[in-house]
Amino acid sequence: MLTRNCLLLFLWILVEEGSVSSLRLPSSPPLGRSKTAREHTRSSAGPMRNGAAGFQRVKRGWVWNQFFVLEEYMGSDPQYVGKLHTDLDKGDSAVKYTLSGDGAGSIFTIDQTTGDIHALRSLDREEKPYYTLRAQAVDINTNRPLEPESEFVIKVQDINDNEPKFLEGPYTASVPEMSPVGTYVTQVTATDADDPTYGNSARVVYSILHGQPYFSVDPKTGVIKTALPNMDREVKEQYQVLIQAKDMGGQLGGLAGTTTVNITLSDVNDNPPRFSKSFFHLRVPESSAVGSAVGRIKAHDLDIGKNAEVEYTIVPGDGGAMFDITTNEHNQEGIIILKRPLDYETKKAYTFKVDASNAHLDPRFQSFGAFKDTATVKINVLDVDEPPVFNKPSYVMDVYEDTPAGTIIGAVTAQDLDASSSPVRYSIDWKSDLDSYFDIDPVEGTISTNELLDRESIAQHNISIVATKLNSPVLTSRVAVTVHVLDINEFPPELASPYETFVCENAKVGQVHLSQSKQRLCPLFEGVFHA
């Protein structure tokens, strides 16, 4: 472009100095000059004589082509555009040139005598790329047209005064981590307001100023792609890439614009869960309820979202049957659940293994190895101070009703199963005065009668025995004791009511007849009657 501008400037200097006297149009006229082109071959010697309308046929000679004016002209004098000249102009100042149309008089001015056109102010091609004007050559004395009015164009010649601009920036894009080289990320586009049909002022080339070696950009299309293999989100997630668009085909002296592209590596499941340690030691009270959470363990996964979801399973083996494990979906912890009651006195520790694996596997990365980890869990059962335990769930005792007071009728036994093995003391839970029939030895647990029992009054006694640990009186247990009172033969038979007997005088030996009426029965039977 610089060479072309220098050539134009050189031609203008020649014109200014009169070195170029005439330029003729050998080819088709510029935009809007069809009328001028048709009249280009017309010749006229001047206006027609005898007042006839029209023009004298002479050889037509407008001396100009399409004019160019440099935009953004910064000179102190008006910018020279070009010269209008007709062959009818013999240099005797008999011809006057006039100018009309776009910007005539305000932007462009013409020397009426010489036909020289100047631009009065700096022009911007991006504001208006060309101006359409009309030229007229008239007789300076009569002001009559010497030739038909002709239209021509002054084109604003582009200079590289606009840098490329990214209208949509800054950009945001994402690409999966571990993507192969050449994976599409996004496309950026810069626009240049300069003339794309002239020179390289609007020919944009893209390059990366910051963001290598991770990404590349196609210099022509602005397509950004990955340039480095195995980019790991867990190492670096965010990248800021600075893209430059430079005009003049990227050559020295071109104008440039930049934009930022914020690229995020999206997660893929390329990391298995990992326990922070291989051994977890938990302590659980033996009093823990079945179904309660007795401990938590956690395997960490460097991935995020679904790719970080962990499934825990207990490996079958010693101790595993006592527990279960579930996943807390909020923090991916493994929650150990008690399945069966614990008893410190029976088993003091359990050991088992737990596997942690991903719920959603990506087959592309299974070649990296097993996507799971294993840890050992040991659970120690803690002894809890528990109440005494009776050796039977309930007791039944029998006692005869004539048993003397103070007789032992049975015994209950309770033990402290804790490691401390505290002595046990017994007592009767007095619920009513009726329970005062019995007493219990506080050390031995033997039950005895306090007084004589009467089966005919109370056939069964229900009492409650309390066992208390000597070293912890608040820890008690109870058992029900049922006492059956057995009958003895202590009463002779008795008639239900007194009877009166009648014997007939003629009764035979061995014949007994009972009757309520002697007078009615005696004549019929022989023997004894009872009324």
> Per-residue pLDDT tens for 293-347?
999 999 999 999 999 999 999 998 777 789 999 999 999 999 999 999 999 888 9
What percent of the chain is modeled with pLDDT above 90?
52
Q: How far apart are CA 299 and CA 308, in angstroms?
A: 10
pLDDT tens for 176-194 read: 999 999 999 999 999 998 8
E strand segments, 58-162? 67-70, 79-83, 95-101, 108-110, 116-119, 130-139, 150-157
CB distance 102 to 133 below 8 Å: yes
* Pairwise pLDDT comparison (403 vs 47), residue with the higher score: 403
Contact partners, residue 176, CB within 8 Å, separation at least 6: 183, 265, 266, 267, 268
Q: What is the mean pLDDT of residues 468-472?
A: 87
pLDDT for 170 equals 94
pLDDT for 516 equals 52
Counting Cβ atoms within 10 Å, is residue 241 exposed (0-12), middle (13-18) or buried (19+)?
A: buried
Q: b/e for 167-201, b at 16 or more Cβ within 10 A?
A: eebebebebebbbeeeeebbbbbbebbbbeebbbb
Q: In what order do the strands lie in the sheet with 274-275?
A: 274-275, 293-300, 333-338, 323-327
What percent of the chain is modeled with pLDDT above 70?
81
Which helix (H) or strand (E) segment holds residue 6: the answer is helix 2-16
Rounded to 5 degrees, φ, ψ at 250 are 80, 5
Q: How far apart are CA 227 and CA 211, in angstroms?
A: 10
pLDDT higher than 70, residue 91: yes
**Mean pLDDT lowest among 120-124, 166-170, 418-422:** 418-422
| Range picked from 50-59, 134-143, 208-217 for highest mean pLDDT | 208-217
pLDDT for 292 equals 96
Q: Is 119 helix (H, G, I), strand (E, B) or coil?
A: strand
Q: Which of 413, 490, 504 is nearest to 455 (CA)?
A: 490
Counting Cβ atoms within 10 Å, is residue 375 exposed (0-12), middle (13-18) or buried (19+)?
A: buried
DSSP code of residue 188: -
pLDDT higher than 80, residue 7: no
Rounded to the nearest 10 degrees, how much is the dihedral formed by the CA atoms of 171, 177, 180, 184?
-20
Q: First and final CA of the chain: distance in angstroms?
A: 162
What are the structural domains, with CATH classification, of the chain? 66-157 (2.60.40.60), 165-266 (2.60.40.60), 274-380 (2.60.40.60), 389-486 (2.60.40.60)
pLDDT for 506 equals 72
pTM to 2 decimals?
0.59
Q: How far apart are CA 527 and CA 506, in angstroms?
A: 6
Counting Cβ atoms within 10 Å, is residue 229 exposed (0-12), middle (13-18) or buried (19+)?
A: exposed
CB distance 196 to 218 below 8 Å: no
Which helix (H) or strand (E) segment holds residue 15: the answer is helix 2-16
pLDDT higher than 90, residue 200: no
pLDDT higher than 90, residue 41: no
